[in-house]
Amino acid sequence: MSQLYIDDIKISYQGCDLSQFGLFPLVAWYLLDVLKLRDYFQQVTVNKKRNHHQKRKPKKRDFTDEDMCIGLLALSILGISRISQITERLSNETQLAKLLSLPRFFSQATAHQYLNRFSQWHVSQLDSINLQLLMRHGNCTSQPIVVVDVDSQTHTLESQKREGAVVGYNRKKRGKPCYQWNVAFVCSEAVAQRLRAGNTHCRSTLLELLEEVDQKLNHPLMIARLDGGYLSGDILNTLVLMGLQLCMSCRYDWVLSRGESGRTTAFKGVSVKESMWQPVDEMTRIIDVGQSPVISTCSHPFRVVLVEKKQTPFPGSKSQRKLFRYVCALYSSTKDLSLIIFVD
């Protein structure tokens, strides 16, 4: 059995020794002695010598790759959202550094210099480490049916000198440079991800993410959960030909307007009556419309379910919205369409 990094944990507070990171020793024990992240981070080669034939000795650094990776990972756990806050908030936290087997916490300049030396090769190394952790500790590899939840998120940047950070679709901060972060989750675990420029549509990375999940988990049976941003005839036709089962959200008002206008569509004659609603729980009720295409450029029939869900506003929120309505469209290659997966 390998030697533990942390033999015992004792948390106590006395006067000026009070720390805002009091329970972090438990997290540090889990990272080092349960997950053994330092052993995994030895695969990262940012600070390691590349060319052995060079006569020049490599520059001696105070922090190894394992030190930098475990320290950067601990920042988000400690609630530090910006690298510029390292010196201010962690310069005096010597005991926390010892828990992570660091000589001390590195400065913000050291963190920036380390990240600037990253290349695509090093990103691939981290991705490989993530896959190894999922295989050993994750739940995504033990599922009989793989349900892939693909989501896209916008990250706004203050600096305009970041590579690929351009003005694009940014709902919260319009006109600000941003990235589009696309992630494929299985059992709430990130299996595949892509970081693209702010003006890149989420549909452009969908097939890459699904293919990568298929290769990593080596499981052909998949159900893809998508949001309304992926509603495209080309995307739907391609996913159906791939043999995937689909569950995605559509616009609620579009379905109703198609039915009320009387235009020649599959939703002609759709009407919503109070007696048609079927309760699922205290917060959710549905109407099963039946099978129909959900977009004119996709001829494959989907099972269409109208969903109405009550919302519990966050404390202090100014939003007055009490009901959230959307359409859940489902597709299965089999005749059994009894499976319903609600999109959050």
Q: What is the pLDDT of residues 282-308, one digit of tens each?
A: 888 888 877 777 777 777 878 888 888
Look at residue 39 in the predicted model and tell me its pLDDT: 93
Please state at what angle helix 233-241 crosses helix 206-217, rounded to 10 degrees: 20
**Is the full-model pTM beyond 0.85?**
no
pLDDT over 70 at 336, yes or no: no
Sort residue 262 into left (φ over 0), alpha (ψ -120 to 50) or beta.
Answer: left
Asked whether residue 136 is assigned to any structural domain, the reply reads no
Stronger pLDDT, 13 or 120, i.e. the higher one: 120
* Residues 111 and 170 occupy one common structural domain: no
| pLDDT tens-place string over residues 272-288 | 677 778 888 888 888 88
* Residues 117 and 176 occupy one common structural domain: no
Question: DSSP string spanning 29-74?
Answer: HIIIIIS-HHHHHTT--SSS---TT-SSPPPP-SS-HHHHHHHHHH
Strand partners, 59: none
Asked whether residue 225 is assigned to any structural domain, the reply reads no
Look at residue 148 in the predicted model and tell me its pLDDT: 92
Cα separation of 45 and 64, whole Å? 10
Q: Which helix (H) or strand (E) holds 167?
A: strand 166-167
Q: For the beta carbon of residue 17, count every other beta carbon within 10 angstroms.
A: 8
Look at residue 268 in the predicted model and tell me its pLDDT: 47
Asked whether residue 133 is assigned to any structural domain, the reply reads no
Angstrom CA distances, 219 to 5, 128, 144, 216, 239, stand at: 36, 18, 9, 8, 16
Q: Quote the tokens at residue 6.
A: 């942390």
C-alpha closest to that of 292 among 326, 266, 324: 266
Look at residue 194 in the predicted model and tell me its pLDDT: 92
Q: Which residues contact 30 (CB under 8 A, 6 or more apart)?
A: none
pLDDT over 80 at 41, yes or no: yes
The whole-number average pLDDT for the span 89-94 is 85
What residue type is 269 in one-letter code? Answer: G
Asked whether residue 239 is assigned to any structural domain, the reply reads no
* Residues 114 and 21 occupy one common structural domain: yes
pLDDT over 80 at 197, yes or no: yes
Asked whether residue 77 is assigned to any structural domain, the reply reads yes
Question: Among 186, 220, 254, which residue terminates a domain?
Answer: 220
Give the confidence band of 61 by pLDDT, cuts at 50, 70, 90. Answer: confident
* Residues 22 and 107 occupy one common structural domain: yes
* Residues 79 and 110 occupy one common structural domain: yes
C-alpha closest to that of 328 among 294, 298, 297: 294
Strand partners, 337: none
Look at residue 134 in the predicted model and tell me its pLDDT: 92
Give the confidence band of 321 by pLDDT, cuts at 50, 70, 90. Answer: low
Whole domain around residue 170: which residue ranges? 145-220
Q: Number of folded domains in the chain?
A: 3
Which range, of 70-79, 161-170, 172-181, 194-203, averages the lowest pLDDT? 161-170
Give the confidence band of 212 by pLDDT, cuts at 50, 70, 90. Answer: very high
pLDDT over 90 at 129, yes or no: yes
Asked whether residue 138 is assigned to any structural domain, the reply reads no
Give the confidence band of 269 by pLDDT, cuts at 50, 70, 90. Answer: very low
Cα separation of 145 and 125, whole Å? 28
